[in-house]
Structures are given as C-alpha cells and as structure tokens.
Chains A and B, each alone.
Chain A
Amino acid sequence: MKSIISGVKISSICAVVPARVLKFEDELKEFPFPESSSRRLGKVMGFREHRIADPKTTLIDLAAYGINCLFKEGVIKKEDIDCLVFSSQVREHLVPGNSKVLHGFLNLSRNTHCIDLYENCTGFISGLYTACSIMRASNLNCVLLVVSNSGCCYANKKDRNTYPLAGDAAGIAVISRADEKETIDFAFFNDSDLRDNLITPAGGMRMPATEETAKMHIDDMGNYRSLNQLHMDGTGVFHYVMENVPFLIKEICELADVKKEDIKYHLTHQPNRFMLEKLADLINVPREIMFNNIVENFGNSSSSTIPVNIAYNLSDKLIDNSYKVCLSAFGAGMSVAGAIMNLGKMDYCKLIEHPCNGSNEY
C-alpha cells in the first residue's frame, strides 16, 4: 500500500534508553562457543554494548519517563494531547492495552484517545502512518506516537544468535500540523509466506506455552533456544532485506517524486551493522548517510531503533536544519515499510537515559 499524507510533520523526538549498560565482552563466557569465535562474530555484527533495563523497569516506564521529559522541557502540555498511539509487540499486561496503561501513568485527560498497535520492527513507520491518518481524519493538533520495547532481561543469555543484539528503548514522536504542502509519503509491503523467518512459536493461541515448550533445545548451529523464545533464520532474514529493501526505496522515491541522490539521510531500522553495511553498498548509498551504529551502542530495540537512531545521530542538526530523509524498516511479518519526509527545524530531539531507579519523574 502507498499513501501520501499532507499537512503533518514530526515536530519533536525523545528517545529513552535504560542507563544500565551491559558489555558483550562480559557475556562471551555464557555462549556455548569458543570465545575467539564469539569475538569474531561481535566484530562483524557490531556487538559491543547494549542497554537492558532491570526487571522492574518496563516498557511503560521507559515511555512515561520520555513523555515526562517533554512535559518538563515545555515541549508539549498534557491537555494538548488529542491522541496517543502506542506501537509495540511487548505488553505491560495482556489486558488492558499499553496505551491505556500509559495514559493512566501520566494521568492524561479522559478526552485523549488511546490506540494500541501490535507491531514489531516496522512499528514506528506503521505507527507514524496511523498517527498522521488520525490527525488528518479528525482534524487534530497533537498526536503522540510512542514505540517502546523492553524485557530483554528475560531473553536467553545462552542464545548467541539473538541475545547480543537485544536492547531496550522507547521513542516518543510528537506529530503536529504542518504547512499543507508538507507531505509524508508512505509505502508498505507484506510477504507473509516468509513469516517463519522471525517467529516466537509458543505462547499464543496456536501453541500455548507449556512446560514442554519451555524446554531448551540446541539448533543446527549450536544455539540454545526454546519454543517460547524468538526464532530467527538469519539467512532468510538477510535475503529478505537484500531483495526487498532496495525495491521499497525505489518505490517510495517514485511515489515522492524524489531522486535517490536527493535523500540526505537514510534513517533505517537497526538489525545489526553487518546487514546495514551490505544494504548501503547494495543500493549504492554512502555508508555515512545510512547510520549503522545503534546496535553496537544500544542494541536492537525493535521499532524503537528508528527514534534512537535519529536522536543519537542527528540531535543537534535537526533543531536548526531540515533535511529530506527516507525512513525504512524491515522485519517480522515479513514486512517492509518506508516513509519519505522533510525532517528538521524540530522543537526537541534528544536521547535521554532512564535511571532505572523505580521513578519515572524526569
């Protein structure tokens, strides 16, 4: 699906990572592989440090801290928030949805509409499309888009395939009205026949979690995993990205009537450095404008990596300047999502750290 929405913009971004830093070098001994082999993997993939919150700091805490920061800094006022869109595939509770819980934590107005999207890697762009559509459809002034993913403290420390790149983070984007000639151009494609490339088999209706599904197995490459945990076919994901992201970028440039050379920055989802380097080379884009440094500094926090990427790499530049950028995301589904927009002259754009001390006060 392709869509152009006019008169909207992202006016602020606040990205939140836990202050707790874990180092790959300290985790090597847990993996059932020789340390030299793990170091080689770390060097290529970009495993160095990742941010993992303590068990008491949930995805809602990270999000609340970020929004409290925006209140404190005078960027937005509680009563001005017309709608809150929360996009994640992690849940505070099974019932009610994340947006309602966050609404409660922040004591928002009862007039603020709350929506939950159950989205994974493409969650920021999917959420952005939803937030912009709602804004235009209902003639609103301020919609908050929240992506938040936490809970990596429960991930399998022995699974070298997924643990080293796991990270927790939240991203808050303030969607505001813009000049009518400002547009955000979106494109989405779904290849659900490949959904087994990234799947958590047990824990839902199709295969409820049992003692049996919790048992650890060793896969062909020696990784420990249970059916309750994420299975990733690295080769399948690699092929999917290399085949479909160039196609996505071509389609979305055509939609936006923009030449690839006019894109100042490619702000992509951050799976690992290796894949992003290969992708940049494949679509003939200088590696310097397709940042790939988020996994080695913070980890892969699913849909949160895009706001973390923007805030970490372009914070100061985006306050004073405006750039034509292409956002792209790819992953579970399998799906790809893209958006081209002018991003800049922002009211606020920073990465902050949640102290993980039991308080969400900024």
Chain B
Amino acid sequence: MTEQEKLAILEDIFDLEAGSLSKEQVLKELEEWDSLSALSVVVMMKDQFDKKITGSDVRKFVKVEDILNLMC
C-alpha cells in the first residue's frame, strides 16, 4: 500500500478532504482527532491490517506518521 493510499484511509476516518492530511500533522493539533477517530483507527487496524492497537498505543501517537508506520 502506498503512503497516499494510507493517508486516504485516515482522511476518510477523520472526515477530511482528500489530499489534505500530511504525515507531519501533529494529532493533538488536529480538531478531528478525538476519542471517536482514535477508536476508528483501532477498528481499522484490526479489520484491515489484523493488528491489535491498545489505548496505551494510541496515547503514544504524536504525528500522523506514527499511525502510518503501523499500517502494514
């Protein structure tokens, strides 16, 4: 999967316009980063990548890039 495709998955979760999300984006500064998008990321990681992300893992995410790195 390309970085573009991964970003598109996250843009869908965050309900953002296609192409607007950068991997450098700090999550705390993103208005759309809340408990719902965090849970949606957890569900997506399980459904699409068969990976279990815990609440503790989520708390360690700083930038969008940290999520992208796990999407494999």
The reply to whether B15 and A40 contact each other, CB–CB distance below 8 Å, is: yes
The reply to whether A235 and B15 contact each other, CB–CB distance below 8 Å, is: no
CB contact list, B20-57 vs A, under 8 A: 31-32, 34-36, 38-40, 42-43, 46, 52-55
Least CB distance from A334 to B in Å reads: 14
The reply to whether A40 and B36 contact each other, CB–CB distance below 8 Å, is: yes
The reply to whether A37 and B59 contact each other, CB–CB distance below 8 Å, is: no
Q: Does A207 contact B (CB under 8 A)?
A: no
Q: Does B64 contact A (CB under 8 A)?
A: no
Given contacts A233-B55, A235-B55, A239-B54, contact A222 B34 (CB under 8 A): yes
The reply to whether A235 and B42 contact each other, CB–CB distance below 8 Å, is: yes
The reply to whether A234 and B55 contact each other, CB–CB distance below 8 Å, is: yes
Least CB distance from B39 to A in Å reads: 6
Indicate which residue in B32, B34, B58 contacts A235 across the interface (CB closer than 8 Å): B58
Least CB distance from A192 to B in Å reads: 18
The reply to whether B36 and A235 contact each other, CB–CB distance below 8 Å, is: no
CA distance A161 to B55 in the complex (A): 14
Query: How many residues in B have their beta carbons less than 8 Å from beta carbons of A?
Result: 18
The reply to whether A235 and B38 contact each other, CB–CB distance below 8 Å, is: yes
Interface centre among A41, A220, A235 (most CB of B within 10 A): A235
CA distance A242 to B15 in the complex (A): 25
Interface centre among A161, A221, A274 (most CB of B within 10 A): A221
Closest residue on chain B to residue A33 by CB atoms: B34
Indicate which residue in A37, A161, A221, A234 contacts B31 across the interface (CB closer than 8 Å): A37
CA distance A40 to B16 in the complex (A): 13
Least CB distance from B60 to A in Å reads: 10
B36: A residues at CB distance < 8 A: 37, 40-41, 44-45
Majority secondary structure of chain A interface residues (helix, strand, loop or mixed): helix
Closest residue on chain A to residue B55 by CB atoms: A235
CA distance A300 to B53 in the complex (A): 26
Least CB distance from B56 to A in Å reads: 9
CA distance A238 to B39 in the complex (A): 9
Closest residue on chain B to residue A223 by CB atoms: B35
Least CB distance from A239 to B in Å reads: 6
Least CB distance from A149 to B in Å reads: 23
The reply to whether A235 and B53 contact each other, CB–CB distance below 8 Å, is: yes
The reply to whether A242 and B46 contact each other, CB–CB distance below 8 Å, is: yes
Q: Does A34 contact B (CB under 8 A)?
A: yes
Interface residues as binary, A223-266 with B (CB distance below 8 Å gives 1, 0 otherwise): 10000000001111011001000000000000000000000000
CA distance A233 to B32 in the complex (A): 20
Least CB distance from B66 to A in Å reads: 14
The reply to whether B39 and A220 contact each other, CB–CB distance below 8 Å, is: no
Closest residue on chain A to residue B57 by CB atoms: A235
Of the A-B pairs whose beta carbons lie under 8 Å apart in the complex, a sample of 30, sorted by A's number, is A33-B34, A37-B31, A37-B36, A40-B15, A40-B36, A41-B34, A41-B35, A44-B36, A45-B36, A160-B35, A161-B35, A221-B34, A221-B35, A221-B38, A223-B35, A233-B55, A234-B39, A234-B55, A235-B42, A235-B53, A235-B54, A235-B55, A235-B58, A236-B54, A236-B55, A238-B39, A238-B42, A242-B46, A274-B39, A278-B43
What are the 9 A-B residue pairs with the smallest beta carbon separation, nearest first?
A: A235-B55, A221-B35, A41-B36, A233-B55, A235-B42, A220-B59, A37-B34, A236-B55, A234-B39
6 new A-B pairs (CB below 8 Å) besides A34-B31, A221-B38, A223-B35?
A: A33-B34, A41-B34, A45-B36, A161-B35, A234-B35, A234-B55
